[in-house]
């Protein structure tokens, strides 16, 4: 009998940052670790997961977690967490504060693993290139330290036959005896080794950033085979004993289900990074991802989520896939739909197909033996267009970069449509190069790629410094397709830090791929014909023109009415309309007619707790832009109470674009309130800013919140400032965050964040 497909069982909300690791107890209960600096214990009772307690205490990201099942010393078991603060904490299940704190490593504790050797031991590994074996009966010092790696040890595991296995950023897998002696150094992966899954007493699997899974024999060091399926970094694996059922997850938004070494199913999630995946005792799958949500998938129809929840999940996945940017697409080279009669070569294989004037992406399901529609392609590159393979991923270019004489050239992969500065920064980080190489590497990419995403210099800012980038003259005049709307220009200022605050002008979120929005709107309009909600083509075109920001002197009332009609479309179809409205309100003539109470109430539904995350993000972009003209500004001020109350309940606060949209809205609201000297409004927005400190992780969003806070303080007279400072003094978290940032103690800091935080501290004290 064929195995049933995994489907969504439930979604668990509780974290406000990426869920980086999961651990499973013998009874099916879960413990999760997050970038929000907490762990959560989810007790499994009568078929449901209950958020039993939030485990606090770490001062930085919680990166790893494991569960010790009940034993004579810990009759209820215990939960162990590791963090970027270099500490290991031990908690009693159900308790908020740790019972033990161990300063075990010099750097981030990357992984924790229970030991097969006895019920009271656990393993830890760290960026300090060591792994350690601990015993709960003696936490003063580790029993054994396992050394031998040249870079961060990302994973560690204990085999029943007594071997300890580690994987590291040096691309090597080490096999140790229990006394710390290295038996084998296994070389085979071409990038950082991220996780280990034990499948029997002598065999284990490893996965890596090279998108490959390898099967090894511990005793001999032999590799039994490679398994391909993922298209990007593989972060996590879990296996049933024997290895017949394995699950893996990674940076390609998917969980892959493997049966007897073959992919049986690909589960796509609406989040870019699926950081961790675990098989539960009942063979359900639990995973944590970059959107801060834990999800459970099951093959048991009795445990499937209700149809409405599954539909919303599938719509979120479809939206994520539909809005992918594939770069410049040569549609004439693509096959038509008849090519779908040919079976795929592997599960999850993507095929781009030309259907009339559209391009659609299909994914091959090895389980169902058919091509399933993924979504529409907004510009793209066919996988059959002569790309080169590097670390298991296809690229348009694989450059060889000479950094230093006598050292082999480094490989730099690049795809048309990528931001060369972001690629250059990743190249520098991956190869531990000096930051001084950033401009040189970025300009090398621009010069040597045939199609570079060059736009006017006003839009082409360095995301790491906030300053304008140098563009070679030969390319600076080239015009290419519009920038994708997900790209947001960083807020910048002169080199004098004091000019960051106070901010006195409104920010605009104006970059967009109008062509892609236009095509999506036309497609959705056709689909609405059967519902009686479509509009005539000429009316549709008049709405599209609103997005071009051509400062039309006369806007027909009929065009505004058409836009309002389109805003009443079902939630899963309305996102291109929200994008058009977001651009349209940058024109005063549009704002004067559009920004009414009726308009606000049409948008309000997209800010509710259960709204589609993409619609939430686009709506906050729209409200941010409404401040630019007087009528829109007055509407935002009239409904500021309603808008501010929505922010703590956003469904995807960990999403980069949502954070930037919300922070831009808040910053523009601050500018407006300080112009009017609205003391009550200032207090309201300050409380919201303090709340945002707890869940904003994106550097540019944090910077905008900092600028908003600094502007509030600097533009207030003495008595008002004292009132605002008193609110801040009641928030230890905000103050400690500002202090850490100003002292340069937070990871991945931008210089402008340090400058503004220092200015804010001076204003407070």
Q: Which residue ranges make up each domain of the chain?
A: 1-16+239-307, 323-376, 396-480, 514-764
Distances (CA, A) of 155 to 71, 173, 197, 407, 526: 25, 9, 10, 29, 51
Question: Is residue 155 a contact partner of residue 196, using CB atoms and an 8 Å limit?
Answer: yes
Are 365 and 373 in contact by the 8 Å Cβ rule? The answer is no
Residues 287 and 255: beta-carbon distance below 8 Å: yes
Tell me the β-bridge partners of 414. 397
Strands 153-158 and 164-168: antiparallel
Pairing between β-strand 274-279 and β-strand 358-365 as defined by DSSP bridges: unpaired
Segment 359-366 long-range contacts (CB within 8 Å, at least 24 positions apart): 359/329, 359/331, 359/334, 361/321, 361/324, 363/266, 363/268, 365/265, 365/266, 366/262, 366/263, 366/264, 366/265
Give Cα separations from 724 to 504, 674, 696, 703, 704 (angstroms): 19, 13, 21, 19, 18
**258, 239 contact by CB (below 8 A):** no
Taking the C-alpha atoms of residue 231 and residue 228, their distance in angstroms, rounded to an integer, is: 8
pLDDT of residue 471: 32
pLDDT tens for each residue of 661-703:
999 999 999 999 998 888 888 889 988 888 888 778 788 888 8
Task: Transcribe 627-690 into DSSP letters.
Answer: TTSHHHHHHHHHTHHHHHHHGGG-S-TT-HHHHHHHHHHHHHHHHHHHHHT-HHHHHHHHHHHH
Residue 454: per-residue pLDDT: 32
Of the chain, the end-to-end C-alpha distance in Å amounts to 71
User: Do 359 and 377 contact (CB within 8 A), yes or no?
Assistant: yes
Which helix H or strand E contains 393, and what residues bound it? strand 393-395
The pLDDT of residue 482: 27
Question: For the chain, what is the mean pLDDT?
Answer: 81
Nearest to 462 by CA among 420, 403, 399, 503: 420
pLDDT at 114: 87
Q: How far is CA 621 from CA 486, 511, 512, 571, 630, in A?
A: 11, 11, 12, 17, 17
Low-confidence ranges of the chain (pLDDT < 50): 323-329, 378-385, 392, 405-406, 451-489, 492-498
Asked if the 514-764 domain carries CATH number 1.25.10.10, the reply is: yes
pTM: 0.50
Rounded to an integer, what distance in angstroms lies between the CA atom of residue 723 and that of residue 686?
A: 11
Confidence at residue 297, expressed as pLDDT on a 0 to 100 scale: 97
Secondary structure class of 370 (helix, strand, coil)? strand
Crossing angle for the helix pair 613-626 and 656-676, nearest 10 degrees?
A: 30
Q: Which residues 6+ apart lie within 8 Å of 491 measured at CB?
A: 466, 507, 700, 703, 704, 707
The Cα-based distances of 554 to 297, 590, 599 in angstroms read 53, 9, 20
Structure token digits, residue 607:
């800010």
Chain-centroid distance, C-alpha 124? 26
Q: Let me know: does 66 contact 112? Beta carbons within 8 Å.
A: yes
Check if the beta carbon of residue 371 is closer than 8 Å to that of residue 266.
Answer: no
State yes or no: cis peptide before 502, omega within 30 of 0.
yes
The pLDDT assigned to 484 comes to: 33
- CB of 515 closer than 8 Å to CB of 481: yes
Query: Which CATH fold would you assign to the domain 396-480?
Result: Ubiquitin-like (UB roll) (3.10.20)
**CA dihedral in degrees (269, 271, 274, 279; nearest 10)?**
-40
CB burial of 97-125 (b: ≥16 within 10 Å; e: otherwise) equals: ebeeebebbeebbbbbbbbbbebbbbbbb
C-beta atoms surrounding 395 within 10 Å: 18
């Amino acid at each position: 009998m064929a195995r049933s497909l995994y489907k969504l069982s439930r979604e668990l909300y509780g974290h406000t940052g990426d869920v980086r690791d999961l651990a499973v107890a013998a009874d099916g209960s879960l413990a999760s670790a997050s970038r929000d600096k907490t762990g959560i214990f989810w007790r499994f009772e009568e078929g449901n997961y209950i958020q039993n307690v939030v485990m606090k205490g770490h001062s930085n990201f919680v990166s790893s977690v494991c569960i010790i099942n009940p034993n004579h010393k810990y009759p209820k078991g215990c939960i162990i967490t590791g963090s970027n603060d270099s500490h290991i904490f031990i908690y009693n299940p159900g308790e908020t504060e740790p019972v033990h704190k161990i300063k075990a490593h010099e750097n981030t504790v990357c992984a924790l693993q229970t030991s097969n050797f006895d019920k009271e031991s656990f393993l830890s590994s760290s960026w300090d290139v060591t792994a350690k074996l601990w015993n709960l009966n003696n936490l003063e010092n580790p029993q054994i330290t396992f050394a031998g790696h040249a870079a961060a040890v990302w994973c560690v595991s204990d085999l029943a036959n007594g071997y300890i296995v580690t994987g590291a950023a040096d691309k090597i897998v080490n096999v140790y005896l229990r006394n710390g002696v290295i038996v084998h150094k296994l070389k085979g992966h071409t990038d950082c080794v991220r996780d280990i899954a034990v499948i029997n007493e002598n065999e284990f699997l490893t996965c890596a950033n090279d998108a490959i899974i390898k099967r090894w024999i511990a005793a001999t060091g032999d590799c039994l085979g490679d398994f391909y399926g993922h298209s990007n970094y593989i972060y996590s694996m879990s296996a049933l004993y024997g290895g017949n059922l394995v699950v893996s997850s990674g940076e390609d938004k998917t969980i892959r289900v493997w049966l007897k070494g073959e992919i049986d199913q690909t589960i796509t999630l609406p989040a870019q990074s699926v950081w961790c995946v675990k098989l539960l005792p009942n063979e359900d799958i639990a995973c944590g991802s970059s959107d801060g949500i834990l999800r459970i998938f099951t093959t048991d129809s009795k445990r499937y989520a209700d149809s409405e929840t599954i539909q919303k999940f599938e719509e979120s996945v479809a939206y994520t896939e539909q809005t992918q940017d594939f770069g410049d697409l040569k549609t004439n080279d693509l096959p038509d739909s008849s090519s779908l009669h040919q079976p795929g070569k592997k599960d999850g294989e993507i095929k781009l197909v030309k259907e009339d004037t559209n391009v659609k992406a299909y994914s091959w399901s090895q389980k169902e033996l058919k091509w399933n529609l993924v979504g529409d392609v907004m510009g793209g590159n066919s996988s059959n267009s002569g790309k080169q393979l590097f670390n298991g991923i296809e690229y348009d270019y694989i450059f060889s970069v000479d950094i230093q004489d006598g050292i082999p050239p480094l490989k730099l992969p690049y795809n048309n449509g990528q931001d060369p500065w972001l690629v250059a920064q990743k190249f520098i980080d991956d190869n531990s190069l000096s930051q001084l190489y950033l401009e040189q590497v970025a300009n090398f990419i621009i010069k040597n790629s045939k199609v570079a995403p060059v736009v006017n210099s006003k839009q082409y800012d360095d995301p790491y410094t906030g300053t304008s980038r140098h563009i070679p003259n030969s390319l600076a005049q080239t015009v290419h397709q519009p920038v994708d709307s997900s790209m947001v220009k960083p807020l910048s200022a002169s080199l004098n830090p004091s000019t960051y605050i106070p901010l006195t002008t409104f920010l605009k979120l104006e970059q967009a791929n109008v062509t892609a929005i236009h095509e999506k709107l036309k497609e959705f309009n056709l689909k609405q014909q059967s519902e009686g909600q479509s509009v005539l083509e000429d009316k549709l075109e008049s709405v599209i023109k609103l997005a071009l920001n051509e400062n039309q002197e006369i806007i027909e009332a009929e065009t505004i009415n058409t836009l309002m009609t389109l805003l009443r479309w079902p939630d899963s179809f309305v996102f291109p309309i929200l994008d058009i409205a977001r651009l349209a309100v940058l024109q005063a003539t549009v704002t004067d007619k559009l920004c009414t109470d009726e308009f606000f109430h049409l948008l309000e539904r997209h800010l509710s707790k259960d709204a589609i995350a993409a619609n939430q993000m686009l709506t906050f972009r729209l409200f941010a832009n409404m401040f630019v003209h007087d009528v829109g500004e007055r509407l935002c001020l009239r409904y500021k109470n309603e808008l501010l109350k929505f922010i703590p309940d956003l469904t995807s606060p960990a999403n980069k674009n949502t954070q930037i949209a919300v922070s831009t809205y808040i910053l523009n609201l601050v500018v407006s309130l300080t112009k009017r000297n609205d003391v009550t409004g200032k207090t309201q927005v300050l409380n919201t800013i303090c709340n945002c400190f707890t869940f904003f992780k994106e550097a540019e969003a944090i910077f905008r919140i900092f600028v908003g806070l600094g502007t509030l303080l600097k533009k207030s007279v003495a008595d008002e400032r004292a009132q605002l400072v008193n609110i801040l003094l009641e928030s230890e978290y905000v103050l400690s965050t500002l202090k850490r940032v100003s002292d340069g103690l937070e990871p991945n800091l931008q210089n402008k964040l340090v400058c503004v935080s220092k200015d804010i501290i001076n204003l407070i004290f």
